[in-house]
Chains A and B, each alone.
Chain A
Amino acid sequence: MRLRLKGGRVLDPANGENGVASGAVRDIEIEDGRIVAATDLKADAEYELGGAVVMAGGIDLHSHIAGGKMNLARLLMQEDRRAFPEMPGNFCGCGGGRAVPTAHATGCRYAELGYTTVFEPAMVGANARGAHLEMADIPNLDTGAYLVLGNDDYFQRLLAAGAAQEQVNAYVGWMIEATQAFAIKIVNPGGINAFKFNARKMDLDEANPHYGVTPRKVLTTLIRAVTELGIPHPIHLHGCNLGVPGNDDTTLATMLATEGRRLHLTHLQFHSYGTEGDKRFSSSAARIAEMVNANPNISVDVGQVMFGQTITASADYMSQYRNRGLASPKKSIGMDIELDAACGVVPFEYKDKSFVNALQWAIGLELFLLVEDPWRIFLTTDHPNGGPFTTYPHLIRLLMDRDFRNAQLATLNKAAQAHTLLGQITREYTLEEIAILTRAAPARILGLTDKGHLGPGAVADIAVHTEDADREAMFSTTRMVFKNGRLIVKDGVVVELAQGTTHVARPDFDRSVEKDMQRWFDEAVGLKAQHFRISDGELRNGAGPTILKCEGGAS
């Protein structure tokens, strides 16, 4: 099957091509689901693009799309489901929802926006099989999941006992393979575990009440493990003290704790709060951005807050328990999970008239605009925590259109306006920078060499947008989206459902850890390790994963 996309302006920052700036148009050729060098061969289908903007399919590296916490959120927020009924289209009647859309709606809505790959950033090992089953029911998207590690009692015990790094590496490798994970996520390092022992806060150098292990030790040990195992994506860190005024110092200290090793700080907006002003809540975006700019080993995503009703769902039960009084509507779910992790689900409505919410909105945008390198910052709302992913087109316009941004700012809580630099920031993102943030850079930081670009060999995941000065309108509707070379969205409407794949990382590790894992599961967890482990055949209805072999790991 050969397809030809004719006469598009190709925006492919990974390969240094910017047809939007140069005005040059060219064809893109697809053979059997991959992009190939142009030929004179007859194509099975040709699409005239007439100068439309052609980009690789979008990649979201941090969006909560599957796993038990999302179902708890659905259960708790039936209001959301009722308010947003099924999408039109003769597919399956498979639900709706906005803050917590169903699997079907997630796949379709993302596809409409031109996204073709999304990573679930908080898969709990105990729940991994369920998360994979759910991901298999998401159409049109390739997925993958980051395994939550660091708060599990096995790991805390290893550290408390002074285990050698090799032992930790073997454990991490075993867990990644057993849960079919793509990367390692740390959520509130040690804090979730400490909450089970009734600690209510956990700072970077605070000791776990039972194990005596500090978050710093958790972080540095797992950074080393990921590095030595050769896992492409660095540690994906949800740091200490999420949402706490004054957590800026912790965030800065966390960056320094890496000692130059790679680290990805996720939903940085929630970790950039100072305590200045009469409300003891202020923006530290400038301080934090300066540190990010100065440290090329650090990458971040923002977790932009968008106004309206959403629901927050996190493995950080300690923080979610602290915030449950703010729930709107007033209900929440928390859960300690299997000596492994936890979760907290709290509905939340971000209000533009609220000082704190308005400032959170501004802090996110300040970070976007003050972090200079578009290859190290990623466009996220931490869906659904800061807001649903369906708000991305609006967010893109806020980044690209200063007048629009300032007009929005002028409508917000007055005190918040006075506490942000946002109005003075003149930067406007270019289309190329948006393509970097949403395509090229995530592919690079995830180690996906055949995604996020449009060169020969790339997976033919392609989004075609008609250029529009109103960037929100432009990114709300894609003219065409191709998934593995199949046309799945036409003129903004999903026309076909494609089955995605699940990306997993496969490091080599010392398999002598197996015996110890069996003993641990038998004695402590009360589940057989062999049943915890997910086989390849369990993924994607038997299709199995797409395996990314990790280079440089210890064998």
Chain B
Amino acid sequence: MAEVQTIENVACGFCGLGCDDLTVEVEGRQVRAKAPVCPEAARLLRRLDTADPVARVAGETASETEATEAARQILANARAPLIGGLGVDMAGAGAAVDLAIRFGGVLDHYASEGLFRNYAAAQRTGWLSTTLAEVRNRCDLLLVVGDDPSATWGRLFERFFPATPLFAGANRRVVFLGAAPGEKARGQLAGAQVVHHASDDPVAALEALGTLVAGRRPPGESFGGIGADTLAALAEELRNAHYAVVTWNAAEREDGDLVATRATALVDRLNVTTRAGVFPLGGRDNIIGVNQLLLWRLGYPLRTAVRGQASTHDGTLFATEAALADADVLVWISAFRPEPPPAFAGKIIALAHPETIFDKEPDVLIPVGTPGVDHAGTVFRMDSIVSLPLGALRVATLPSVAEAVRRIAEG
């Protein structure tokens, strides 16, 4: 029996919230999170003492060298590859961009829909935003738009509302504009005053709120299911807040782009007289870091195609689903979780989490280690400013994405 090792202050790279205070027990090849941990991290950190799967080519067991060579052959003959998934740490992201430069290809992350909905506001008008530590200490009025985000970001409100903020004082208020907060959220928000305004159309409510904050009364008695007087009172609260923050998850709603636009406009108006910021939620599996790297290396965000030593960006054409219609090869990279590739008729090279279950056997499968479990790495938090070093929890038997991709690209 291997000795149980307890590792403290483990950083977690999964949901984008960047919790870095986890305690994890490691016993030989086994890994299990103890506390404090959300269910998602507990699930994704857990490892059993089982042998890692080996590489396969066309369903047959292969050496890593054979799989690498097969992948290179497929890419060398590819007309239009899509390098998708991109659930990778920063080193893996750099290698994926090198791969696109070597063989050509479209680059997209599997969770980028929410990011691009936010870009509807961020790229057209810009926005005034804030980061986690500012929310923790300054935010005296938090407006949560849409569904309760606790289901996706298990410790969000615990992180947002510490027991003793530096400035926000005792009268912290949280207003849910949309669905009702669940039990977990209410538990984490025990120190704050929680209000819920049920709405099935938060975009309409946000728009009216923006008008009211600007000092005008929009015609109508209710907006998105919320009474005009209620919204007027909320507008007054926002104007009187020292530091209001609006948060939402653009990925959850078809109209996420409109939520982002209206929230941005509202915060813009508030800053004329007081201080406020937007805090868009997202950031799963280092999407923010991958996007950052693309911006500094290629000058474009995700959904960019590299061909013939030049890159072009198109947020619609190069979204995974659309790009797959034109692609003949899919390089699917998912190191953080067993996210299977989307349905695709062409050839698939999978650099995948060892527990991935495939609907269709990939043409090449190279199992890869997980950053923060099998090897060290760096990930960005959802606010795009802070990044975290992930450490290795156990001895790796699988290559990192960076190693696996470089072997393919450099051959």
Q: Which residues of A contact B (CB under 8 A)?
A: 66, 68, 70-71, 74-76, 78, 81, 85-86, 90, 92-97, 100-105, 124, 126-127, 129-130, 133-134, 137, 153, 195-198, 210, 321, 327, 330-340, 345, 523-528, 530-531, 534-535, 538
Q: Are B133 and A527 in contact (CB under 8 A)?
A: yes
Determine if B389 is an interface residue (Cβ-Cβ < 8 Å). yes
Q: Are B298 and A333 in contact (CB under 8 A)?
A: no
Partner of A333, one of B129, B301, B311: B129
The 5 A-B pairs of least Cβ separation, nearest first, read A93-B309, A95-B299, A81-B299, A331-B126, A338-B133
Q: Are A338 and B123 in contact (CB under 8 A)?
A: no
B245-273: which residues lie under 8 A (CB-CB) from chain A? 271
* Given A331-B125, A526-B136, A527-B20, residue A126 in contact with residue B384 (CB < 8 A): no
CA–CA, A81 and B387, complex, Å? 25
Chain B 286-304 near chain A by CB (<8 Å), digits 1 or 0: 0000001101111111000
Q: Are B296 and A66 in contact (CB under 8 A)?
A: yes
Chain B 373-411 near chain A by CB (<8 Å), digits 1 or 0: 000001010001111110000000000000000000000
Partner of B385, one of A96, A338, A528: A338
**Cβ contacts under 8 Å, B101 to chain A:** 92-94
Q: Are B129 and A133 in contact (CB under 8 A)?
A: no
CA–CA, A137 and B98, complex, Å? 12
Determine if B172 is an interface residue (Cβ-Cβ < 8 Å). no
**Cβ contacts under 8 Å, A96 to chain B:** 299
**Cβ contacts under 8 Å, B356 to chain A:** none
* Given A526-B162, A528-B20, residue A129 in contact with residue B387 (CB < 8 A): yes
B128-142: which residues lie under 8 A (CB-CB) from chain A? 128-134, 136-138
Interface size class of B (residues with CB under 8 A): 35 or more
CA–CA, A153 and B136, complex, Å? 13
Q: Are A102 and B131 in contact (CB under 8 A)?
A: no
* Given A124-B385, A526-B132, residue A74 in contact with residue B299 (CB < 8 A): yes
Q: How far is the CB of B172 from chain A (nearest CB, A)?
A: 15
Q: Are A337 and B134 in contact (CB under 8 A)?
A: yes
Known: A137-B293, A198-B242. 13 other contacts (CB 8 A): A76-B122, A95-B300, A105-B299, A129-B389, A130-B387, A137-B297, A197-B275, A334-B129, A338-B133, A340-B133, A523-B164, A535-B389, A538-B389
**Cβ contacts under 8 Å, A335 to chain B:** 128-131, 277, 385
Q: Are B378 and A71 in contact (CB under 8 A)?
A: no
Partner of B130, one of A71, A336, A526: A336
B174-230: which residues lie under 8 A (CB-CB) from chain A? none
Q: How far is the CB of A179 from chain B (nearest CB, A)?
A: 12
B306-322: which residues lie under 8 A (CB-CB) from chain A? 306, 308-311, 313
Determine if B153 is an interface residue (Cβ-Cβ < 8 Å). no
Determine if B167 is an interface residue (Cβ-Cβ < 8 Å). yes
Q: Are B134 and A336 in contact (CB under 8 A)?
A: yes
Q: Are B162 and A103 in contact (CB under 8 A)?
A: no
Determine if B18 is an interface residue (Cβ-Cβ < 8 Å). yes
CA–CA, A126 and B381, complex, Å? 11
Which among B9, B123, B159, B299 has the highest number of chain A CB atoms within 10 Å? B299
**Cβ contacts under 8 Å, B159 to chain A:** 526
Q: Are B385 and A75 in contact (CB under 8 A)?
A: no
Q: Are B243 and A196 in contact (CB under 8 A)?
A: yes
Determine if B94 is an interface residue (Cβ-Cβ < 8 Å). yes
CA–CA, A523 and B165, complex, Å? 8
CA–CA, A66 and B293, complex, Å? 11
Q: Are B301 and A153 in contact (CB under 8 A)?
A: no
CA–CA, A48 and B63, complex, Å? 53
Q: Which residues of B contact A (CB under 8 A)?
A: 9, 11, 18, 20-21, 90, 94, 98, 101, 119, 122-134, 136-138, 159, 162, 164, 166-167, 242-243, 271, 274-275, 277, 292-293, 295-301, 306, 308-311, 313, 378, 380, 384-389
**Cβ contacts under 8 Å, B313 to chain A:** 78, 81
Chain B residue nearest to A84 in the complex (CB): B299
Q: Are B138 and A196 in contact (CB under 8 A)?
A: yes
**Cβ contacts under 8 Å, B298 to chain A:** 93-95, 102
**23 A–B pairs (Cβ distance < 8 Å), ordered by A:** A68-B292, A70-B296, A74-B299, A76-B126, A92-B98, A94-B101, A95-B297, A100-B299, A103-B297, A105-B299, A126-B131, A130-B380, A134-B296, A196-B275, A198-B274, A336-B131, A336-B138, A338-B131, A338-B133, A338-B134, A339-B134, A345-B126, A526-B159
**Cβ contacts under 8 Å, A94 to chain B:** 101, 297-298
**Cβ contacts under 8 Å, A75 to chain B:** 119, 122-123, 295, 301
Q: Are B274 and A85 in contact (CB under 8 A)?
A: no
**Cβ contacts under 8 Å, A104 to chain B:** 297
CA–CA, A526 and B122, complex, Å? 26
**Cβ contacts under 8 Å, B300 to chain A:** 78, 81, 95
**Cβ contacts under 8 Å, A95 to chain B:** 297-300, 311
* Given A75-B122, A137-B94, A526-B159, residue A531 in contact with residue B20 (CB < 8 A): yes
* Given A102-B298, A126-B386, A331-B126, residue A338 in contact with residue B9 (CB < 8 A): no
Q: How far is the CB of A317 from chain B (nearest CB, A)?
A: 9
**Cβ contacts under 8 Å, B18 to chain A:** 527
Q: Are A76 and B133 in contact (CB under 8 A)?
A: no
CA–CA, A332 and B11, complex, Å? 33
Chain A residue nearest to B162 in the complex (CB): A526
Q: How far is the CB of B219 from chain A (nearest CB, A)?
A: 28
Q: Are B133 and A339 in contact (CB under 8 A)?
A: yes
Q: How far is the CB of A493 from chain B (nearest CB, A)?
A: 15
Chain A residue nearest to B128 in the complex (CB): A334
Q: Are B132 and A68 in contact (CB under 8 A)?
A: no
Q: Are B386 and A527 in contact (CB under 8 A)?
A: yes
Q: Are B9 and A530 in contact (CB under 8 A)?
A: yes
Q: How far is the CB of A247 from chain B (nearest CB, A)?
A: 23
Partner of A198, one of B123, B275, B293, B309: B275
CA–CA, A120 and B301, complex, Å? 22
**Cβ contacts under 8 Å, B275 to chain A:** 195-198, 336
* Given A75-B301, A338-B134, A530-B9, residue A524 in contact with residue B389 (CB < 8 A): no
Partner of B124, one of A86, A90, A137, A331: A331
Chain A residue nearest to B132 in the complex (CB): A526
Q: How far is the CB of B250 from chain A (nearest CB, A)?
A: 15
Which among B98, B134, B166, B306 has the highest number of chain A CB atoms within 10 Å? B134
Chain A residue nearest to B391 in the complex (CB): A531
CA–CA, A304 and B300, complex, Å? 28
* Given A68-B385, A97-B299, A538-B378, residue A78 in contact with residue B123 (CB < 8 A): yes
Q: Are B296 and A103 in contact (CB under 8 A)?
A: yes
CA–CA, A100 and B298, complex, Å? 11
Q: How far is the CB of A120 from chain B (nearest CB, A)?
A: 12
**Cβ contacts under 8 Å, A337 to chain B:** 131, 134, 385
CA–CA, A530 and B310, complex, Å? 40
